[in-house]
Amino acid sequence: MSSVLITGSNDGLGRDAARRLVEGGHRVVGHARSAEKADALRRELPGLADVLVADLSSATQVRRLAQEADAIGTFDAVIHNAGIGFRETGRNATEDGHARTLAVNALAPYLLTALMEPAGRLVYLTSGLHEQGETHLEDLDWIERPWDGRQAYADSKLFDATLAAAMARRRPDTVATSVTPGWVATKMGGAGASDDYEAGSITQAWLAVSDDPEALRSGALYYHQAPRHAHPAVADEVFQDRLLDAFAQLTGVPLR
């Protein structure tokens, strides 16, 4: 039995991954943005060990989430599933002054990774759109650039895949991977999405707990339980370090 924390597990792929892992006999801690959503998740998945509450756009709440997670104990796996899509109509500055897409999709998983006791496995949700991400790291918060929601989303997903590869290199005792579910019919993907919805949550759960050697390729990006080509920057150690330095500066928290 593995202990697994899943962010953004009150709906969509995160909820389905949580259900699969609970049904598989694993100890799963969920996460939701509000107390109301957490209560709904507890009712839907009564087998969860706990549900933690935090708005991932708030650095204060992310820090509290890290503390509450560590109080439960060191996790065998953390699935960084939570995220928002490309339909944000503006940068929608958070209480910390960050573009909301950057804060939720990239800074929150970075902070949790930096602050929590190292888990045995780290799984980061990325997207096929990460291949359209830009590698220049100036104005990450879209303060000077005109807002482009699709580009901001693609950038954040490039950062997630890069964070996974960086953690694989920096923490050799941790299996760190990223996963793209494809274009699936979640709230983010929309009802017209054509990819295999089930395969998205299956792959998350598989990466979190499977002993299959194919699931243990630290640093790899996966799609439907198979390694997939990633943007060349993901494996670029110079880009990895530049990104980690930029995130440390934006959050005030260096990676341990």
As a whole number of angstroms, the distance between CA 150 and CA 162 comes to: 18
Q: Is 187 designated active site?
A: no
Considering only CA atoms, give the Rg of the chain: 16
Angle formed at CA 39 by CA 184 and CA 55, multiple of 5 degrees: 65
The residue with tokens 């494996």 is 235
List the catalytic residue out of 37, 110, 124, 157: 157
> 37 an active-site residue?
no
Determine how β-strand 226-227 pairs with β-strand 221-223: antiparallel
Instruction: Give the active site residue among 153, 197, 222, 223.
Output: 153
The residue type found at 36 is: E
Q: Which residues are catalytic?
A: 153, 157
